[in-house]
A and B are shown apart, each in its own frame.
Chain A
């Protein structure tokens, strides 16, 4: 689940687990893994889950296009808002609905790679799977997460992980990205670390 809170810039009690170079390396590695596993990027669609999955999907698309020059990064990345498919809407303050933007010729027959910043309970991904099934019928759906912090509540697992980060449930994982927060970093806050 994305931590999704606005950044107040008070990282006093925060541990920086990944800095900008580590994030860049992780994304490059994931891009290569995606290409290897799918034997090229021709059928791949990267769907970022707002807010922070979206810039990650765009960065991955740019890296895929770097490796395979025939690919158009703009036609590779889209965004998938899952707010209306969540099962916890009644337990949280009302969420703002983001945009869903499917690139190119839709999802039918393609390989969809869902991209999110933090993989936690798995409920966001479950909602994303529901959302995808309303949009089309992909050949396969894969999952890329920058950070996997554990504590899954559903039988869901990522295909591509930037960093496995064992955490306590009392801790908070925050992903900062240059596009939304001005800098790249992954922080752990709170808990007894």
Chain B
């Protein structure tokens, strides 16, 4: 593994290896001294073209817990806002000796370009690009699911295990969601059955090709499928009005059809868990009752995110020093 760009790049062996490594990383995070010397002397750059405090802090914490040096680069207020290109930014980071670049970009495919254009010799980690992919989010969701639902409900040792046979419902704005895309691929790779639940207007074209079932009725899915986990997606409020595309008539109608509330939680099987990538719109896609219910593992997802990102940085950076870039940099 040289880069982590998409959940589709991972086969089941890679994915399970990352989850196992994350498990060991999580164990170190329960200790009094959480910092490990593993990546001492390595430099990780957080290159964020789009605001995302929680993802950036999660990657920053992960890198620092492994003793890497962290440089945070936010496009706002930087030369990018003055018109500098991704290429020039990448060349600057290369000159500063970045061993890994964690990139969040509003354009789908920007991490792929950065990884393959030969502008940087470092490992590239996709921290969310446009509506395309957010692989570490999918990994932390899979880690959370494995912890709770595999191996005797989280009491046994789950090392080496995948998610075979689990039923997961992903509910909400699938159309705009990189979290949904990454999760569908990764959960399928790990053997889980995924059902996408969304209003017809928020289902992307070409969804038939995805390894998932599609339903427009949340209550039916909860009653018939008895999902082991429900993953709620964030709905952007600005997308609801007709100015934002008019994807649904009103917030109230969306909440009635697709919001997770106490009644729907009660319809879930005893062991089922509720996930949300955050930040939540309480009262829109998830009610306060549901968000605070014991089934919700949303806060734990945040902690698991650090362990998973530590694992990814370890697996990308700890091995043999990366070879020189394949293409010559012609400045």
Contact = CB atoms under 8 A, between A and B. Distances in A.
Category for how many chain B residues contact A: 20 to 34
Interface string B31-42: 101011110000
Interface string B290-313: 000000000000000000000000
B318 A89 contact: yes
B36 A85 contact: yes
A97 interface: yes
A134 interface: yes
Contacts of A92: 319-320
A105 to B, nearest CB: 14
Contacts of A134: 31, 33, 35-36
Contacts of B314: 84, 94, 97
Contacts, number: 50
Interface in A96-121: 96-100
A90 B31 contact: no
Contacts of B167: none
A96 B37 CA distance: 16
B28 interface: yes
A33 to B, nearest CB: 31
Query: Chain B binding site: helix, strand, loop or mixed by DSSP?
Result: loop
B321 interface: yes
Contact of B27 (A90, A94, A95, A99): A99
A96 B315 CA distance: 9
Nearest to B1: A94
Interface string B15-35: 001001100110110010101
Contacts of A97: 20-21, 24-25, 314
B318 A94 contact: yes
Contacts of A16: none
Interface residues of A, number: 18
A19 B319 CA distance: 35
B318 A130 contact: no
Contacts of B319: 89-90, 92-94
Nearest to A135: B31
A98 B321 CA distance: 22
Contacts of B25: 97
Contacts of A98: 24
A48 to B, nearest CB: 16
A133 to B, nearest CB: 9
Contacts of A91: 320-321
B99 to A, nearest CB: 10
A100 B27 contact: yes
Contacts of B27: 99-100
A81 interface: yes
19 contacts: A84-B37, A85-B36, A85-B37, A90-B318, A90-B321, A91-B320, A92-B320, A93-B319, A94-B318, A95-B318, A96-B17, A96-B20, A97-B21, A98-B24, A99-B24, A100-B27, A130-B37, A134-B31, A134-B33
10 A-B pairs with least C-beta separation: A94-B319, A84-B38, A97-B24, A89-B318, A134-B33, A84-B36, A90-B321, A97-B21, A94-B318, A93-B319
